[in-house]
Amino acid sequence: MVKTMGNVFVMADTVDKAIEKKDPRYTYSFDMLGEASTNWEDANVYYDKYLEAANKFEDSISVKLSAIHPRYELKNYKDVISTMVPKLAAIARVCEENNVTMFIDAEETRRLDISIMVLEELLKTYKFADNTIGFALQAYQKRAFWVIDTLNTLAEHTHSKLHIRLVKGAYWDTEIKQAQQDGLDFPVFTRKEHTDISYLACARKLLHSEYLTCAFATHNPFTVATIQHYTKNKDKEFEFQKLYGMGDGLFEQISQNMPVRIYAPVGEYKDLLAYLIRRLLENGANTSFVFNQKVIDPFIELKKEKKPISDWKTLYKNRINSKGYDLTDPAMIDYMLDTPTHPEQDEEILSVDETIKILTDYQEQWSNTTFEHRAKILLACADSLEEEIISASNRLVKYAFKTYPNAVAEIRETVDFIRYYVEQAEKLYKENIKPSYTGEQNITHYNPRGTWMVISPWNFPYAIFLGPICAALVTGNTVLAKPAPQTLEIAKVIIASMHHVGVPENALRICDPDIEQAAEAVKDERICGVTFTGSHKSAKTIQRLIAERDGPIIPFIAETGGINCMVADSTCLPEQLVQDVTHGAFDSAGQRCSATRYLFLQKENSKTILHMLKHRMKVITLGNSDDLNTDVSRVIDGEAFTKIQERIAQLEENEELIATKSRNGKTLPKLTIPPSAYIVSDYKQYFDEEIFGPLLHVYVYDKNELDEILNFINNSKFGLTLSIHSRVTRFYENVSKKMKVGNVYVNRDQIGAVVETQPFGGYGLSGTGPKAGGPNYLLPYVWEKHISINTTAIGGDTVLLTDDRQT
Ligand code: FAD
Ligand code: NAD
């Protein structure tokens, strides 16, 4: 299949063969099938290919910048500029000598700013002949029309002419998904006709731009005809461009009297997949001209009513989704970095006994408030937190050493928890009338249990602290909130803000973070339920303390750790796997309960993957959490540091190192542990306890061993997350079904569960459930009282007798 499609859409597998196949009626722009590279080794190979192509072809070259830098991201702009611009200049110089253009391809929206920065640097630092540098612009971008001004000004200021290739854009579905996921407005149009009209508007503007030369890349006859109409009797130089294997019929005609350039990919089958998938989507989309072959006038189409695509706000039916923060927008980044964290709060911490007394005394008053009253206050907390996302994120960066993207994600998760639990509580209270025979009313009432204790870990000081607090509050419980000692400062601010927004001080109090003090509270019979998140060991201690209490047996929710595995078969996509495993194992310095601890790789493709993993690890950036460039910052404290180092020493002694992120002679910030990965000879040996740090164990398995491995993982009784990488549906379906874990992820990483979308929580040693952010979460926080009323006892069934369905 790949081969057949490759024959249609890819010109040749080598430069020489492509030269032989050239058709003299057309000019060309060759693309060396570069796709985003994951490491420097691949990036350098792609760069060499581009340079070779520039030297061998006497035609234009199209360069995908993400192929020649493994971290082509805005946050990394200093390195991108310093390493990439000289390389691009070298390719461009060859193009200049050949009197052709080096086009910079347009990629995902999040890379548009960095691409413009690269272009600017290239033009300002080097001088090229007119139209040596080309830049692709996507008309589906809402900002495309104004980007033309930027490009024109840039060309004017650098005394050069730029060749602009106008396209509609090839990443539309990715952009929609990404924006929904990140809680951001769509950067692209969501109706095809808007893109078509934007294209025409951009085309007109380009035709009037003094310093820009136009190339119109489209296969749509309506778009082509309109451009022909716009350019009639004008002497502005322009050309059409088409993709190899598409629009042949149309351009055979057009090329007779106008210049047409073919964008011609060249490469081997192993590099084709991503490009072919884009072509497949484009050729199969029902909005696409090449699929439906209908000439549609976008100005007429515009008048039709169409169902809008859900944006981030409307993604969930009954609640507003949390708003994101765009860390790929330079202005937003500056704003975030310049915003100070608000001053610390000195929240008073009373003795455990006094605190519990205040809460229990107030319990009745709080439980007598209406749900609507409690919901209003909690929703106000969510709104206020959403507004404060910058300072709250900065606080996480400062006290919990989170990177900015992780901090923003955690604040969003917290907002989602609050809104979701409010929504779930409303459902609980509304849907409480039970089906019944006539003459009787049956209603279940969901009553608060009393004073509830929430014990939380340091690694999600907002989300895992506030989530359970709000679940308990919304169902009418008063709450004793016990933060982790490491993140007490954050907890104090949270509690003060909750009080500020309207949660009564006597309904929510902070507990001394000290374990001894907290244990006293757990033992106190006035506490009616406990939600604990942390290690299995601590959970067991707390469970025993609860068991020793006299009086009623209280609910105990425990969400604990796991030894999370990623299992890959020989069909997995290596690039995807390597990205996902490095992210899963090392993001947040591996200090996530869901982090990947073990990678099980099938022998057949393990060599390639291990090689890529080794090189991928080289491009991880270590540093302080408040540096936007940092991927991995320090671990939480000295105790954690020592424990991780002990395991590293053990692995160092006995196993084979795949890679460790080199310090490169730099002094690392205190308590920073460079990520490392080891091949272990016996996977069973390291499965005893969770090591909470940036450390990956890899085991290379023989196909026949897989069942035994899966049984072993199940028997270990840890069951939090599992990731499966395979292109065989039957494989991932069978493994998903077999494994006793709370959350299974297929062909993606296993971290970052989203409220409601991925209810989160483990099984066995990894947790009791119910899942956080799931539909059953609130039930333990209430006790159910059922009331049955015989409505006929007073003499007769008036409802039945007056029911007009009888007549
Ligand atoms: P049409 O069928 O008229 O348009 C299809 C396009 O409409 C889709 O691709 C999408 O952009 C847009 N669209 C579809 N549905 C919607 C919707 N619901 N809402 C909004 N918009 C919608 N693409 C890049 O991204 N970067 C490049 O560097 C690049 N280089 C190219 C070079 C050449 C020479 C050519 C011909 C194409 C290139 N492309 C590039 C691909 C290009 O984006 C697609 O081929 C193009 O979008 C298809 O448009 P069309 O006018 O041929 O077809
Ligand atoms: P931890 O078990 O050391 O502590 C968790 C909390 O319990 C802290 O507030 C601590 O002070 C308190 N605590 C510990 N012993 C106590 C006792 N005897 N009485 C009362 N309170 C006590 O865990 P940690 O180091 O803070 O957090 C990391 C752990 O949390 C990891 O194991 C991780 O996997 C787990 N975790 C699980 C989830 C999940 O959803 N499953 C989420 C985040 C973290």
The larger pLDDT score, comparing residue 313 to residue 4, is at 313
Tokens 């007394």 label which residue?
A: 357
Residue 252 catalytic? Answer: no
Residue 141 Cα, ligand 1 centroid: separation in angstroms?
11
Contact call for residues 493 and 510 (beta carbons, < 8 A): no
Span 263-285, pLDDT tens digits: 999 988 766 777 777 777 777 77
With a 6 Å cutoff on the Cβ, whether 541 touches ligand 2 is: yes
Tokens 């590279």 label which residue?
A: 37
Q: Whose CA is nearest to atom 28 of ligand 2?
A: 534
Q: Whose CA is nearest to atom 26 of ligand 1?
A: 106
pTM score: 0.94
With a 6 Å cutoff on the Cβ, whether 484 touches ligand 2 is: yes
Q: At a CB cut-off of 8 Å and minimum separation 6, what does 775 contact?
A: 424, 759
The residue-averaged pLDDT of 293-308 equals: 88
Residue 70, pLDDT score: 94
With a 6 Å cutoff on the Cβ, whether 170 touches ligand 1 is: yes
pLDDT of 294 above 90 = no
Q: Whose CA is nearest to atom 14 of ligand 2?
A: 538
Cα–Cα nearest to 695, from 537, 561, 582, 576: 582
Residue 250 Cα, ligand 1 centroid: separation in angstroms?
16
The residue-averaged pLDDT of 249-274 equals: 85
Residue 234, pLDDT score: 81
Span 492-536, pLDDT tens digits: 999 999 999 999 999 999 999 999 999 999 999 999 999 999 999
Q: Residue 460 corresponds to which tokens in the numbers above?
A: 């999600």
Q: Give the integer Cα–Cα distance in Å for 439 and 803.
A: 12
In DSSP terms, 596 is beta-bridged to 564
Question: Per-residue DSSP letters for 372-418?
Answer: HHHHHHHHHHHHHHHHTHHHHHHHHHHHS---HHHHHHHHHHHHHHH
With a 6 Å cutoff on the Cβ, whether 743 touches ligand 2 is: no
Which residue is catalytic, options 96, 121, 559, 756?
559
Residue 664, pLDDT score: 76
Q: Whose CA is nearest to atom 31 of ligand 2?
A: 535
With a 6 Å cutoff on the Cβ, whether 456 touches ligand 2 is: yes
Max CA separation in the chain (angstroms): 103
Residue 4, pLDDT score: 74
pLDDT band (50, 70, 90) for residue 242 = very high
Residue 381 catalytic? Answer: no
Contact call for residues 336 and 404 (beta carbons, < 8 A): yes
Residue 53 Cα, ligand 1 centroid: separation in angstroms?
25
Closest-lying ligand 2 atom to the alpha carbon of residue 562: 34
Residue 805 Cα, ligand 2 centroid: separation in angstroms?
59
With a 6 Å cutoff on the Cβ, whether 636 touches ligand 2 is: no
Residue 50 Cα, ligand 1 centroid: separation in angstroms?
23
Residue 802, pLDDT score: 75
Q: Give the integer Cα–Cα distance in Å for 29 and 43.
A: 20
Cα–Cα nearest to 194, from 219, 164, 172: 172
pLDDT band (50, 70, 90) for residue 805 = low
Residue 92, pLDDT score: 97
With a 6 Å cutoff on the Cβ, whether 244 touches ligand 2 is: no
With a 6 Å cutoff on the Cβ, whether 390 touches ligand 2 is: no
pLDDT band (50, 70, 90) for residue 177 = very high
In DSSP terms, 573 is beta-bridged to none
Residue 468 Cα, ligand 2 centroid: separation in angstroms?
14
Residue 519, pLDDT score: 98
Ligand whose nearest atom lies closest to the CA of 141: 1
> Exposed, middle or buried, 550 (CB in 10 Å: 0-12/13-18/19+)?
exposed
Which residue is catalytic, options 381, 410, 593, 690?
593
Q: Give the integer Cα–Cα distance in Å for 539 and 520.
A: 15
Residue 202 Cα, ligand 1 centroid: separation in angstroms?
14
Closest-lying ligand 2 atom to the alpha carbon of residue 766: 41
Neighbours of 351 (CB within 10 A): 12
Q: At a CB cut-off of 8 Å and minimum separation 6, what does 438 contact?
A: 797, 799, 800
Residue 807, pLDDT score: 56
In order of 108, 367, 376, 584, 791, the CA distances from 313 in angstroms are 22, 32, 19, 27, 45
Question: Per-residue DSSP letters for 336-349?
Answer: HHHPPPPPP-----
Q: Give the integer Cα–Cα distance in Å for 19 and 565.
A: 48
With a 6 Å cutoff on the Cβ, whether 63 touches ligand 1 is: no
Residue 10 Cα, ligand 1 centroid: separation in angstroms?
18
With a 6 Å cutoff on the Cβ, whether 241 touches ligand 1 is: yes
Q: Give the integer Cα–Cα distance in Å for 474 and 453.
A: 14
Residue 32, pLDDT score: 85
Span 734-780, pLDDT tens digits: 999 999 999 999 999 999 999 999 999 999 999 999 999 999 999 99
With a 6 Å cutoff on the Cβ, whether 556 touches ligand 2 is: no
Residue 581 Cα, ligand 1 centroid: separation in angstroms?
32
Q: Give the integer Cα–Cα distance in Å for 555 and 667.
A: 48
**Choice from 460, 593, 689 to test ligand 2 binding pocket (greatest atom count within 8 A of CB):** 593
With a 6 Å cutoff on the Cβ, whether 140 touches ligand 1 is: yes
pLDDT of 438 above 70 = yes
Span 64-105, pLDDT tens digits: 999 999 999 999 999 999 999 999 999 999 999 999 999 999
With a 6 Å cutoff on the Cβ, whether 175 touches ligand 1 is: no
pLDDT of 341 above 90 = no
Q: Give the integer Cα–Cα distance in Å for 465 and 533.
A: 9
Q: Residue 487 corresponds to which tokens in the numbers above?
A: 């993140």
pLDDT band (50, 70, 90) for residue 444 = very high
Q: Whose CA is nearest to atom 38 of ligand 1?
A: 167
Cα–Cα nearest to 415, from 467, 488, 460: 467
Cα–Cα nearest to 380, from 262, 502, 296, 272: 502
Angular region, 665: left φ>0, alpha ψ -120 to 50, beta rest:
left
Cα–Cα nearest to 139, from 228, 36, 214, 61: 214
Rounded to a whole number of angstroms, the CA Rg of the chain reads 30
Task: Give the start-end residues of each E strand in 366-507.
Answer: 440-448, 451-455, 478-482
Main-chain phi, psi angles of 480, to 5 degrees: -100, 115
Residue 399, pLDDT score: 95
Residue 369, pLDDT score: 98
Entry field: residues in the chain? 807
Q: Give the integer Cα–Cα distance in Å for 138 and 160.
A: 22
With a 6 Å cutoff on the Cβ, whether 49 touches ligand 1 is: no
Q: Give the integer Cα–Cα distance in Å for 631 and 582.
A: 11
**Choice from 453, 455, 596 to test ligand 2 binding pocket (greatest atom count within 8 A of CB):** 455
Q: Give the integer Cα–Cα distance in Å for 193 and 123.
A: 34
With a 6 Å cutoff on the Cβ, whether 64 touches ligand 1 is: no
Q: Whose CA is nearest to atom 22 of ligand 2?
A: 515
CA dihedral 34, 35, 36, 40 (to 10 degrees): -40
Bridging pattern class, strands 718-719 and 763-764: antiparallel
Q: Whose CA is nearest to atom 43 of ligand 2?
A: 593
Span 533-575, pLDDT tens digits: 999 999 999 999 999 999 999 999 999 999 999 999 999 999 9
- The 3-state secondary structure of 239-274 reads EEEEECCCCHHHHHHHCCCCCEEEEEEECCHHHCHH
Q: At a CB cut-off of 8 Å and minimum separation 6, what does 688 contact?
A: none
Q: Whose CA is nearest to atom 14 of ligand 1?
A: 192
Span 367-421, pLDDT tens digits: 999 999 999 999 999 999 999 999 999 999 999 999 999 999 999 999 999 999 9
Residue 290, pLDDT score: 66
Mean pLDDT for the chain? 93
Residue 291, pLDDT score: 64
Span 576-610, pLDDT tens digits: 999 999 999 999 999 999 999 999 999 999 999 99
